[in-house]
Chains A and B, each alone.
Chain A
């Protein structure tokens, strides 16, 4: 019996069209647009000026607080503009634009792929390095990793939980990465375990990625000596969306449910995405900041969906062109997966640290069907992985009954979209729950003041 989380869940069609495709290096773009806020928290402060020469890995924006992150140049060249650009949402975001003129790397960064097994760093140094190299959660939430690895006093970590579930349909970037760099990931895990002081790590992978499970297990076998007395275990999971939700994954792997309003550390768990751990390896072993990431470019009407290793700041347009251009019939372009990704309004939007995929949906799948009355069938209730009542939360949003929404635990929503996905009346439940969530959280903050 394979493990999975205990409450709710849905089974969207997988459509992992690019599964098994190796990671292709994407050709370096002529121009990169690097937003200075690619993470959750305070935007970074720009430290370069127009006309400055930068190399790959040069710091271009400095972290402006604890919950913030560094931003580095992803190509070498000249800073041509520092101004607000339209990002995927059409809103203006400050960004540094660099014209590329070669591929010269900053000194001290090792651009090779040789496997490094030993590093001479203390835990504190490791944590500093992770913060300095601008590592953020690459699963999509882009929370600064050094914050997550700082265990607050009063808490004790017991498990490192590696999120390799990749439960979003279509996306295969983590799968491809695990198949290509299993040993590097194992060292990323090992060093992260040292930082948070645990000796158990569980890698949760959904069962639809047999090759990744195999290669990771082989890598653990190969690196037995290095792992020593610690335990790193690959746990295949029964497919169910949203397995990759932090709280769901903890429930699936160690059977503990994080209480509302608490962080995973309250149950002793630290959750990191597998590609973040790879980035941690790169930072510690090679001193490499996040200058690129793996992006799945996919869609039913894309002739050949692929996994690319792309420099941060590359325009989405170039990626779509590399797989044959936007089909005539396409309706939506989504950054991320179909369940939680965000539609983008312009193909000029740059790839950022959080972009796991570019998904092109055909027009006939892009429109929502007409909404009907809620028939209270309870299907949204039965699929909600947080055990909420989406239908009633939506009702309280429509009636602006924020107290009722609070009593229904609207802020606990993880925005996985299972409710809207499943509703037979095609009601936009999640759209309304988001409003309820934001309003209730704002009210709660106001009350505290």
Chain B
């Protein structure tokens, strides 16, 4: 009795094993071993920030590529790309670290609501209907499409301001929020040395008076920042200033000039209380 059982089990085990072996041999997929190796160094976040539908697709693109010029993993950044280049035996060209920046500072206080939206709480749907609950037709709608789009839990609505805020430690500059925003408010900007950066936190193209009436924090296009900038980093669009993050030397002069506080500086030490122009506005050397 026991013998029969043992024999039967053994036969089943053997035949299954050989079947598995045959099938695995027959249907084996030969792929570039480097794909698996590259896959191991990638963050495996599958965010799509590189432009490929996931890390494995990016890995196989890397394995096929002749150089890494158009391939960049924004999540892993330079360290990961160096490793990938090492595996492939390529030279690495490292871009600057970037971060998502929300260019609207129309807080609930600064930008009073003039209408009430009762449709589905979704920026895209609201943007398809009208300009938004405030008189500013450029600003943040506040329905958090960017937060939903983020795979890294790096952007959240601040209930007090009604604006999204980027968690700098978590943001990988994958660009999902940039694509999700129907108002084109979010921009990927250079993270800057020690996170220091200056940007115009407004995209309102209305004339000064109109913009100011809708939002007290709006850029009114007065050009004061443009005139004070010594590095030609600031350009004036339609009633709107824009700071080129590659040209900005972080001198902070424009920040002090801005009459509405639309230009934001982050991660700078507090200014001296004295009225004099900050002397330490050193144009930091950039690599």
A/B touching: CB–CB < 8 A:
yes
B124 part of interface (Cβ distance < 8 Å) = yes
**Which of A90, A431, A438 interacts with B130 by CB under 8 Å?**
A90
* Contacts of A338-360 to chain B: CB distance below 8 A: 342-343, 345
A368 part of interface (Cβ distance < 8 Å) = yes
User: B63-71, B95-103, B115-123, B222-230: which one contacts chain A?
Assistant: B115-123
A435 part of interface (Cβ distance < 8 Å) = yes
Known interface pairs A343-B129, A438-B128; A86-B118 also in contact (CB < 8 Å)? no
**Which of B118, B122, B206 interacts with A367 by CB under 8 Å?**
B118
Chain A 307-350, CB-CB to B under 8 Å as 1, else 0, gives 00000000000000000000000000000000000110100000
Are A343 and B130 neighbours in the complex by a CB distance under 8 Å?
yes
Most buried by B among A345, A366, A435: A345
B192 part of interface (Cβ distance < 8 Å) = no
Are B129 and A89 neighbours in the complex by a CB distance under 8 Å?
yes
**Which of A88, A89, A91, A428 interacts with B119 by CB under 8 Å?**
A428
Most buried by B among A90, A342, A438: A90
**B87: A residues at CB distance < 8 A:** none
Docked CA distance A368–B206 (Å)? 32
B85 part of interface (Cβ distance < 8 Å) = no
Docked CA distance A411–B76 (Å)? 38
Docked CA distance A399–B60 (Å)? 27
**Which of B119, B128, B137 interacts with A90 by CB under 8 Å?**
B137
Are B130 and A91 neighbours in the complex by a CB distance under 8 Å?
yes
- The B interface, classified by DSSP as helix, strand, loop or mixed, is loop
**A343: B residues at CB distance < 8 A:** 129-130
Are B118 and A432 neighbours in the complex by a CB distance under 8 Å?
no
Question: B128's closest neighbor in chain A, by CB?
Answer: A434
Kindly provide the distance from the CB of B47 to the nearest chain A CB, expressed in whole angstroms: 14
Chain A 69-111, CB-CB to B under 8 Å as 1, else 0, gives 0000000000000000010111110000000000000000000
Are B122 and A435 neighbours in the complex by a CB distance under 8 Å?
yes
**Which of B115, B118, B124, B135 interacts with A435 by CB under 8 Å?**
B124
Docked CA distance A92–B214 (Å)? 14
B188 part of interface (Cβ distance < 8 Å) = no
**B118: A residues at CB distance < 8 A:** 366-368
B110 part of interface (Cβ distance < 8 Å) = no
B125 part of interface (Cβ distance < 8 Å) = yes
B131 part of interface (Cβ distance < 8 Å) = yes
Known interface pairs A89-B131, A90-B137, A91-B130; A345-B115 also in contact (CB < 8 Å)? yes
**B128: A residues at CB distance < 8 A:** 434-435, 438
Docked CA distance A86–B124 (Å)? 20
Are B129 and A342 neighbours in the complex by a CB distance under 8 Å?
yes
Question: A92's closest neighbor in chain B, by CB?
Answer: B137
Question: B117's closest neighbor in chain A, by CB?
Answer: A343
Are B137 and A91 neighbours in the complex by a CB distance under 8 Å?
yes
Kindly provide the distance from the CB of A176 to the nearest chain B CB, expressed in whole angstroms: 29
A–B complex contacts, Cβ < 8 Å, 25 sampled: A86-B137, A89-B129, A89-B131, A90-B115, A90-B130, A90-B132, A90-B135, A90-B137, A91-B131, A92-B137, A92-B206, A342-B129, A343-B130, A345-B115, A345-B130, A368-B118, A368-B119, A428-B119, A428-B125, A431-B119, A432-B122, A432-B125, A434-B128, A435-B125, A438-B128
Where the two chains meet, the residues of A that have a C-beta atom closer than 8 Å to any C-beta of B are: 86, 88-92, 342-343, 345, 366-368, 428, 431-432, 434-435, 438
